[in-house]
Amino acid sequence: MQILKFARKTWRDLSVDGRGGIDVRVLGVDPGMAITGYAVVSEVDQTLTLYRYGVIRTPSSMPLPRRLYQIHKGISDLLDEYQPRAVSVERLFFNKNVRTAMTVGQARGVVLLAAGARDLPVLEYTPPQVKAAVTGHGAATKEQVQLMVQSLLRLVEIPTPDDAADAIAVAVCSLHRWGWDEKLGAGR
């Protein structure tokens, strides 16, 4: 896990009861230029609650600056409405398709900007870390992750589209891992 430099808070600072107890709301984000998935999840007394999930879509016909603005505005609106204590984002991995990696990086950048403007911690996890935190296995399939997300959050159906389900998994990962990250000294 990596906590970006502009974040001044640690997870311990974020607990409502001040004793290290878990009472935290997180915005999980799966950034993409065409589709950015998001999920607002909290954990209180080891019970996960899904407040909202969905996607921000930007059409390819829209100019790039406008698409980035739409993603930034959508994330900013969610941050303002739900007041999460942190933003959790899947760490960018290098793709063979450089163009795709660049556009995902740009979308990710405006998400980080929205969090940074509010002085929120940004927690980054690799895909294997997310899979391991949600399913117990870092090489789990997408279907296994989706089924576990459905089970953990007591959902009637598997959340769709995939981008929203991935954002839920990233948020759940940060909520499941924070205690271990604190004990191991991450973000210090």
Listed residue (58, 62, 92, 59) closest to 75, CA to CA: 58
Let me know: does 15 contact 21? Beta carbons within 8 Å: yes
Could you state, in order of their start, the residue ranges of all structural domains in the chain?
2-182
Residue 107 CB neighbours (<10 A): 25
Q: What is the pLDDT of residues 109-130, one digit of tens each?
A: 999 999 999 999 999 998 999 9
Six-digit token string for 61: 């016909």
Task: Please indicate whether residue 30 is annotated as part of the active site.
Answer: yes
Q: What is the pLDDT of residues 54-76, one digit of tens each?
A: 999 999 999 999 999 999 999 99
Q: Give me the catalytic one of 13, 17, 23, 30.
A: 30
Going by their DSSP bridges, the two strands 86-90 and 23-30 should be labelled as parallel
Q: Give me the catalytic one of 23, 45, 143, 163.
A: 163
Say what percent of the chain tops pLDDT 70. Answer: 79
Going by their DSSP bridges, the two strands 35-44 and 47-57 should be labelled as antiparallel
pLDDT at residue number 91: 84
Task: Please indicate whether residue 163 is annotated as part of the active site.
Answer: yes
pLDDT at residue number 9: 42
Residues 6+ positions from 63 with CB-CB distance below 8 Å: none
Q: What is the pLDDT of residues 132-174, one digit of tens each?
A: 999 999 899 989 999 999 999 999 999 999 999 999 999 999 9
Does residue 23 surpass a pLDDT of 50? yes
Q: Give me the catalytic one of 90, 124, 166, 181.
A: 90
Would you state the CATH architecture of domain 2-182? 2-Layer Sandwich (3.30)
Six-digit token string for 174: 């940060």
Does residue 184 surpass a pLDDT of 60? no
Listed residue (135, 138, 139, 127) closest to 170, CA to CA: 127
Residues 6+ positions from 85 with CB-CB distance below 8 Å: 9, 14, 24, 25, 26, 120, 121
pTM: 0.83
pLDDT at residue number 33: 95
